[in-house]
Homo-oligomer: A and B are copies of this chain.
Amino acid sequence: MALIVAKFGGTSVADIERIERAADKVAREVEAGHKVVVVVSAMSGVTNTLVGYCSDISPMHDLREYDTVVSSGEQITAGLMAMALQKRGVSARSWLGWQIPILTDNIHGKARIENIDTEELHKRLDSGEVAVVPGFQGVTEHNRVATLGRGGSDTSAVGLAAALKADRCDIYTDVSGVYTADPRIVPAAKKIHKISYEEMLELASLGSKVLQTRSVEMGAKNGVPIQVLSSFEEDVGSARKGTLVTTEDQIMEQELVSGIAHNSDEAKITVVGVEDVPGVAARLFDPLAKASVNVDMIVQNIATDGRTDMTFTVPRGELDLAVKTLKDDTGLSYSDIVVNDNLAKISVVGIGMKSHAGVANTMFRTLAEKNINIHVISTSEIKISVLIEADYTELAVRSLHAAYGLDES
């Protein structure tokens, strides 16, 4: 008898047949006696079409109108899902963002949820009615539709789960959970059954693009257990076969390392011989931020003769823009800019490494044994990332997966 928020992403509601299959899953949860709030994305492709219309009219369009346009995709799915549930004898109705209301701030295009009115929803849920809520949308104090940014339906789902004090937020997607590595590269990769919010954040931002980062942060802040599971498999959320993202203390058997992530889309830039004075980093990275270049790893070498080298990585597609911005807008003196656009970032993530020495060493030794050269190293409390030649990506991930004992027995 749990209260569950079940979110279905774009591929899980891609057409009428998939909406019907998603409705089957919800109906099974209702039959088992659970109260269910369903959050739906737009049918896959719809949001891109709508965003395209807006860009076609004007790249500088009014974001309030953009939100009015693009929010309609989820509105459509919500009505259809309510119909599909009713057809199965499940009492259901759609609740648009302004009907609940889900109040957001006024930052159109990437609004944040400020408050969700749950009184009427609780009443309806208690009476056995399923609430179907379009993801991605809310309403501002000015009564305008606002959207939460791309992938915002995950945030809608976790936000509703937090406001309703739900027992769990199930995120149905096109993978069956979070794995210890990409199964296409590591056939021996295992599904992770429980993982901490912190590890999930590191894995998510490193390329296991299963959950929107903001939704994991929101889950952590509000203590909402989030389960990632496949909408294309038979099991429903209550069977607990997916990956549960939860607090550290809920994870009994903590692995030293939870997973090996990789990102093959990295380019490295080294600005050679910049002055080693206060403020130089700001003068370097401010213009890049203004140009919307996403800087990832940053390493600064030890200064010699009052000059230093600054190395950082950007997505490969932003390399040209980054170099142009460095040359035109920083006003820095430097002796050279050196780029390498054929690198991959490999990361070892695990909350267990906080209390264990030797984790980094295992990584360096394993890579050395395979003659893989490390270009850059960067560490956090629960993550070690290295930059290597992209050609060695698969070899590195597979070797590390085995070295940390993650291979399925």
Contacts and interface: CB of A to CB of B under 8 A. Distances in A.
Interface string A65-101: 1111100110110111011101100000110101100
A57 B66 CA distance: 29
A72 to B, nearest CB: 4
A79 B96 contact: no
Contacts of A58: 83-84, 86-87
A64 interface: yes
Interface stretch (A48-56, A158-166, A315-323, A340-348): A48-56
Contacts of A98: 98
A78 B29 CA distance: 38
B68 A50 contact: no
A286 interface: no
Contact of A61 (B19, B86, B99): B86
A62 interface: yes
B96 A83 contact: no
Interface centre among A57, A86, A94, A98 (most CB of B within 10 A): A57
A309 interface: no
Contact of A82 (B53, B62, B82): B62
A78 B68 contact: yes
B80 A93 contact: no
Contacts of A99: 143-144
Contacts of A96: 68, 145
Consensus secondary structure, chain A interface: helix
A20 interface: yes
Contacts of A75: 68-69, 72, 75
A82 B56 contact: no
Given A65-B82, A94-B65, A98-B98, A16 B53 contact: yes
A66 B84 CA distance: 12
Contact of A80 (B16, B65, B83): B65
Contacts of A16: 53, 56-57
Contacts of A78: 68
B64 A19 contact: no
A79 B56 contact: no
A64 B56 CA distance: 33
Contacts of A83: 54, 57-58, 61-62, 65-66
Interface string A17-59: 0011000000000000000000000000000001001101110
A79 B145 CA distance: 11
Contact of A50 (B53, B62, B67, B76): B76
Contacts of A53: 16, 76, 80
Interface string A282-295: 00000000000000
A381 to B, nearest CB: 44
29 contacts: A16-B53, A16-B56, A16-B57, A20-B57, A53-B76, A53-B80, A54-B79, A54-B80, A57-B83, A58-B83, A61-B83, A61-B86, A61-B87, A62-B83, A62-B93, A65-B79, A65-B80, A65-B83, A66-B83, A67-B79, A68-B75, A68-B94, A69-B75, A69-B76, A69-B80, A72-B72, A72-B76, A99-B143, A99-B144
Given A57-B80, A65-B83, A66-B79, 10 more contacts: A54-B83, A57-B84, A58-B83, A62-B86, A62-B93, A68-B79, A68-B82, A72-B72, A96-B145, A99-B143
